[in-house]
Structure 1
């Protein structure tokens, strides 16, 4: 499995409601169209609560979303990122994500429970 995560902030000037709508309804469809994708998950960032261990309000540093893409393997990931579908995904990304602050994490999934 080849997995990559992106944690990001909304573009300046966009409301949080506009961001969440775009992320869920519009961007999700572009991401789901990538070839070779096994799993694609959105994690909109919610407000910190008393039920969150080791957290404080500043911990999220203004990040609004986390997306995780998993492909069959590295070859499928390369093909997806070089696909026509990714061109559309990247064009949409520029509409609502602040790329300057985005963090990209290559991941290895280790299921514990």
Structure 2
């Protein structure tokens, strides 16, 4: 494959393998902005992925975990009534500097403010540990 050919991720940039010791992973537990329905939140949350893909620097992965309606699936872990949070997002950046840079981008801030209740959001720097 030539240098100008697209790699498996659709980019013409060469693939670079990162040292796991320099990667920076952050988990966010979030609630929707007051006044939004859960459906509206989920739509804006999904669309946020496109914003991050276009603007983020050094973003290696972005995983979204919207709350599922467990009781409709017969899941024993369903939460009675309104759930305290609506989603978990996990971002992995090449470096902490990339994460900080991206978090200050006006486009990322503006889009995030459309759907996230920042007063109740929990942010945790985490390390991935695969057990099974």
The reply to whether TM is greater than 0.5 is yes
Q: TM-score normalised to the size of structure 1?
A: 0.80
Match of 2:121 among 75, 79, 102: 102
Tell me the matched-pair count: 107
Higher helix share: 1
Q: TM-score normalised to the size of structure 2?
A: 0.70
Aligned partners of 1:44, 1:95: CA distance in 2, in Å?
16
Which consecutive unaligned segments of at least 5 residues does structure 2 have?
1-22
Higher strand share: 1
Q: Once the two structures are superposed, what CA deviation does each residue of 1:45-73 show, in whole Å capped at 9, x if it has no partner?
A: 11234545xx4515x84211111110112
- Tell whether 2:35 aligns with 1:13: yes
Which consecutive unaligned segments of at least 5 residues does structure 1 have?
none
RMSD: 2.1
Aligned partners of 1:56, 1:21: CA distance in 2, in Å?
22
Equivalence map 1:46-57=2 (5 Å) = 46-49=68-71, 50-52=74-76, 55-57=77-79
Report the structure number with the largest CA radius of gyration: 2
1:7 is displaced (CA, Å) by 0.9
